[in-house]
Amino acid sequence: SLQQRPDEGELLFARASVLFDWGRLREAHDGFLQAEAVGVKRTSLDLNLAWSNLLRGSLLEAECYARSALASDPHSAALLFAAGTIFQATGCLEEAIPAFEAVLALGSAPTECLVNIAACKLEQRAFAEAEHLARRAIAIEPNRAAGWVHLGKALARQDHLDA
């Protein structure tokens, strides 16, 4: 137990993971940092630190951990999606889009990726591309609001409100 072995990295990591799953972000984040401090080195730790930093609003730290996680396994859909999300949040759209496209190529999270790429395209003022991506997302999941929101934005920016 942690009471008997307070510096046991694997126990610290496991406890932090449970806290993260329970939504207790501050405690989870602290636990992940403690596990890192005692020498735990694994991709899942970097991934959890990336997500917890993003959710806490620490974007630069999130990006650093996302890059570290992605470097260890550049073909993982979960890591690519996390990196894409964090790159998008930090404004690194030129890196976010290929990350989401790679997730799509792996056959994972198609609607979520299409919606996120559409959001990036809207930020880049590539409204026709955003429209196309939003329509693809809607075709897959017509009841998902995000696709419709992005489609509306793309159409409005192109003055195509009757489409």
Residue-wise pLDDT for 74-89, tens only, equals 999 999 999 999 999 9
Mean pLDDT of 106-115: 92
The Cα angle at residue 83 between residues 153 and 76, in degrees rounded to 5: 120
Instruction: Report the SS3 class of residue 18.
Output: helix
Residue 163: pLDDT band with limits 50, 70, 90 = low
> Is the C-alpha dihedral spanning 120, 124, 125, 127 positive or negative?
negative
The pTM for the full model equals: 0.86
Distance CA 34, CA 45 (A): 11
Tell me if 74 sits within 8 A of 50, measured CB to CB.
Answer: no
The pLDDT score that the predictor gives to residue 157 is 94
The pLDDT score that the predictor gives to residue 143 is 95
